[in-house]
Amino acid sequence: MKKIVVSTLLILICVLGTIELSAQCAMCKAVLETNMQSGEEAVGKGINDGIIYIMFVPYLLLGAVGYFLYKHHMKTKNTVLD
């Protein structure tokens, strides 16, 4: 029962936390539009690189957690068989 309550609260915090983050896209778009109108293209490339970096970090963390969970699972599986 405690796991269900904790996981529900975690999901709720994640869902409610993304509401504020959605507003950032309009701000980035406005900055890019004003820079493109003034002829600056380097800022747009920097923002695109930042977006790729931000997208890469969660996948890297998820992969690391998955690796350690797999390693822990295999370790416990081998101790049960011995």
- Residues 60-76 have pLDDT tens digits of 999 999 999 999 988 88
CA-angle at 49, arms to 44 and 21, nearest 5°:
85
Domain range summary for the chain, segments of one domain joined by +:
1-40, 41-82
Q: Answer positive or negative: Cα dihedral of 32, 34, 38, 43.
A: negative
Q: What pLDDT digit, counting tens, does each position of 20-60 carry?
A: 555 556 777 777 777 777 776 666 666 777 777 788 888 99
Q: How many residues does the chain have?
A: 82
Q: How far apart are CA 53 and CA 14, in angstroms?
A: 20
Residue 71's alpha-carbon distances to 3, 15, 59, 68, 78, in angstroms, are 23, 30, 18, 5, 11
Q: What is the pTM of this model?
A: 0.45
